[in-house]
Amino acid sequence: MQLAYYPGCTIKASARQHEQAALAILRALGVELREMAEWNCCGVVHTLTSANLIRHMAPVRVLARLRQQGAHEVVTLCDMCFNTLARANLLARQQPEQFAAISASTDSELRYDGDASVLHLLQVLRDRVGLAALRARVRRPLRELRVYPYYGCKLLRPSTVGIDDPEIPTLLRDLLEALGATVIEGHLQTRCCGAYQAVDQPELVAERVTATAAQARAGGAEAIVLSCPLCHFNFDTLQPRNGAPLPVFYYTQVIGLAFGLEPEELGLETRQIDQLPPLRQRDRAQAKGGAA
Amino acid sequence: MSDGNGLITMQLMGKSYQVPSGLTIMAAIEYAGYKLVRGAGCRGGFCGACPTLYRRDGSHRIFTALACQTLVEDGMCLVQMPFVPLLTRPYDLHAIVPQPNTLLQHFPEIAGCVACNTCARSCPQGLPVMDYIQAALRGDIERAAMLSFDCIACGICSSRCPADIKHYAVGLLARRIYGKYLAPPAPDLARRVAEIAAGRYDAELDALISLPAAELRARYEQRSFEAVADGAEPYSATRRYNSPMDPVDYQDELAG
Amino acid sequence: MSMTIRADSQANELLQTVEALSGQRLAACYQCGTCAATCPFVAAMDLPPDRLIQQLRFGLPGVLERRAFWVCVGCDSCAERCPRAIAVPRVMEALRLIAIRERGDRLAVAQLPAATLRDLPPIALVASLRRNTG
């Protein structure tokens, strides 16, 4: 399976390990992502007023370039990119007059009529690859691992573009259970982490990630598993430093571990593996077994 | 209006002048009686000192040009724009560690890019300006350096940007970081420098110095850049970037 | 102290502008408070979303001075649950836009500390600029 791939800025900056892990597990599953030849930032947040048409240009340009490059659908890893591109796509189909205005202001350099589809990698894994195929590829079931899947906002809301039930999603649970992990759940899984407030109101983010991590820990979770690079940054840097913060992993990295891939193929440092007691114990046991 | 005698009418800062057709904008301004003390430099399209904004009859667009490189047209309404203010945080290139956010750290306003592409449409060098800003935003310093390679810092892009980005300064820092930290070293350079330092070419250089100018020029025109194995591509750090004005074009010129 | 509250929305210029920019009709709100109960950041708001809408409808002064709409990141939790199908994040964005137009940017990007800029994911900065600057 070959799919066009839109990385987004952060996948190339602070979230490179997510891309590395995604490419590794997709190789193992026989899926090839082909990065778009030229692409720009999607704009990250969908513009919510009728006055700022210029701010729709970034996602429209991504979709227009996708079509120019001959593809009809595109996969994203980043939840923010997915949401912004999918909503721009929806707008292109529902309000073509707004897009005509954008096109006119650029000498028709930007032409797009809503005929592409935007996919999140999780959709590809669930709907194209299938969880059964994922389960069949598992070489190292994560049986001893207790994880708290965190959905955040952009995978689910608004429900017009979300990829699972906005109130009671099951996608990450199903995925992690297919890998053999024990899933801990709670109502904060779908509550926003504070997103870009990390820039100048980090206290808002700290309050949210602290509460969510506390719920995960109270349920017995040893790690938080999530998808969005901004959630990842917030959970990684803004959990309280007193007491041990819960480690944070991209779902791609957890899939890779279950596939038996090496941590370095998944952008994981030894330090991070050491934060997962069951994996560390098993690695020790295997090392002993191998030596004997 | 052209009067049949080869004269055309242009407007300069709101005033009409009759000038001969076939002049560059810069020459036309001087023909009209102005002495350029600012906004003129090399007169060869390299220094970026003479950015010009103009309108044409029959279009609502603002057009852009370098005054020394563009012929004046009948009905042009011109203004010279010698300088776009530039304020950047001072940086010490030696202290910079190239990381994904390095360019963003020095120019956080690039995060405001709306991808409207006005910069690229206004660039007199025809550079993909928006694309190099986007590369800078995602930490691809090499791509930002390569795509901005032919920037002459005229600043027209920055005067037109709705996000107030200082594109040319971003590209300059990208190229500086690329040159200092990221460019693969030219394979023969270090060896050649060592040879020169060891005095291996002293006699040859003395001989060259004593040559007559014409002979020296002929030798210069026949010079080669890199030792290339038979059938191999000459070394180029920039070849895989397809800028419209590729910095390695000179090799084609040499071949021709 | 007495205060005149005008139910006449024709006279309420701010309400009209917010409705035009957001595409939402605020008369539909019946003040159930679901948005406030849902919002993960309501504790940091100086006025919960339902009361912000109420003050806007009544044309009360001081709405644009509130912090509430700068706290909202548009997570859409309230929008999914609103029984009157009001997209509250669009109302918040309209208020941000009006405030920025009247008073200028809320975020001075050139004054962000270098250490913050070094570590932030680009998406955080892009999103913040789009929500806090004109």
Neighbouring chains of A at 3+ CB pairs under 8 Å are B, C
Domain of residue B70, residue span: 7-80
Under 8 Å between Cβ of A79 and A157: no
pLDDT for res A243: 74
Under 8 Å between Cβ of A232 and A250: yes
Check whether residue C23 and residue C84 sit in a common domain. yes
Are B137 and A14 a contacting pair at CB < 8 A?
no
CA atoms of A151 and B5, how far apart (whole Å): 75
pLDDT for res B243: 43
Residue A281 has pLDDT above 80, yes or no: no
Q: Which of C109, C122, C130 sits opposite B109 (nearest CB)?
A: C109
pLDDT for res B13: 87
CA atoms of B70 and C79, how far apart (whole Å): 55
Residue B127 lies in a domain: yes
Residue B246 lies in a domain: no
pLDDT for res A105: 78
A149-196 per-position pLDDT tens digit: 999 999 999 999 999 999 999 999 999 999 999 999 999 999 999 999
Check whether residue B48 and residue B102 sit in a common domain. no
pLDDT for res C38: 97
Check whether residue C69 and residue C126 sit in a common domain. no
Under 8 Å between Cβ of C112 and C87: no
CA atoms of A105 and B40, how far apart (whole Å): 32
B203-231 per-position pLDDT tens digit: 999 999 999 999 998 888 887 766 666 77
On chain C, the residues whose CB falls within 8 A of the CB of A198 are: 120, 124
Q: Is A51 exposed, middle or buried (0-12, 13-18, 19+ CB in 10 A)?
A: middle
B189-204 per-position pLDDT tens digit: 889 999 999 999 999 9
Check whether residue B142 and residue B118 sit in a common domain. yes
Under 8 Å between Cβ of B138 and A81: no
Work out the pLDDT band at B187, boundaries 50, 70, 90.
confident
Residue C4 lies in a domain: no
B127-163 per-position pLDDT tens digit: 999 999 999 999 999 999 999 999 999 999 999 999 9
* Number of domain units in chain B: 3
Q: Of B136, B167, B182, which marks where a domain is finished? A: B182
Residue B254 has pLDDT above 50, yes or no: no
Parallel, antiparallel, or unpaired for β B7-12 and B15-20?
A: antiparallel
Residue B191 lies in a domain: yes
Q: What percent of chain A has pLDDT over 70?
A: 95
Is the ipTM here above 0.95?
no
- Domain A2-121 matching CATH 1.10.1200.10: the answer reads no
C98-125 per-position pLDDT tens digit: 999 999 999 999 899 988 999 999 999 9
Amino acid at B76: M
On chain C, the residues whose CB falls within 8 A of the CB of A153 are: 75-77
Instruction: Provide the mean pLDDT of chain A.
Output: 93
Check whether residue B166 and residue B214 sit in a common domain. no
Residue A200 has pLDDT above 50, yes or no: yes
Instruction: Provide the mean pLDDT of chain C.
Output: 93
Residue C1 lies in a domain: no
Instruction: Give the CA count within 13 Å in the CB-facing half-sphere of C122.
Output: 37
SS3 A31: coil
C22-59 per-position pLDDT tens digit: 999 999 999 999 999 999 999 999 999 999 999 999 99
Interface mutation target, options C126, C130, C131, C132, chain B, most CBs of B under 10 Å? C126
A108-141 per-position pLDDT tens digit: 678 898 999 999 999 999 999 999 999 999 999 9
* Number of domain units in chain C: 2
- Domain A139-291 matching CATH 3.40.50.1860: the answer reads yes
Check whether residue C78 and residue C97 sit in a common domain. yes
Work out the pLDDT band at B246, boundaries 50, 70, 90.
very low
Is the Cα dihedral A59, A65, A71, A72 positive or negative?
positive
Q: How far is C8 from chain A (nearest CA, A)?
A: 24
Q: Which of A49, A81, A166 sits opposite C80 (nearest CB)?
A: A166
pLDDT for res A292: 38
pLDDT for res B252: 42
Are B108 and C110 a contacting pair at CB < 8 A?
yes
Check whether residue B74 and residue B20 sit in a common domain. yes
Q: Cα torsion for B132, B133, B135, B138, to the nearest 10°? A: 170
Residue A76 has pLDDT above 70, yes or no: yes
Mean pLDDT of A272-277: 78
Are A158 and C79 a contacting pair at CB < 8 A?
yes
B124-133 burial string, b = 16+ CB within 10 Å, else e? bbebbbbbbb
A85-116 per-position pLDDT tens digit: 999 999 999 988 888 888 887 776 788 989 99
Domain of residue C125, residue span: 107-134
pLDDT for res C84: 98
Residue C96 lies in a domain: yes
CA atoms of C69 and C105, how far apart (whole Å): 14
On chain A, the residues whose CB falls within 8 A of the CB of B131 are: 38, 40
Check whether residue B105 and residue B142 sit in a common domain. yes
Residue B145 lies in a domain: yes
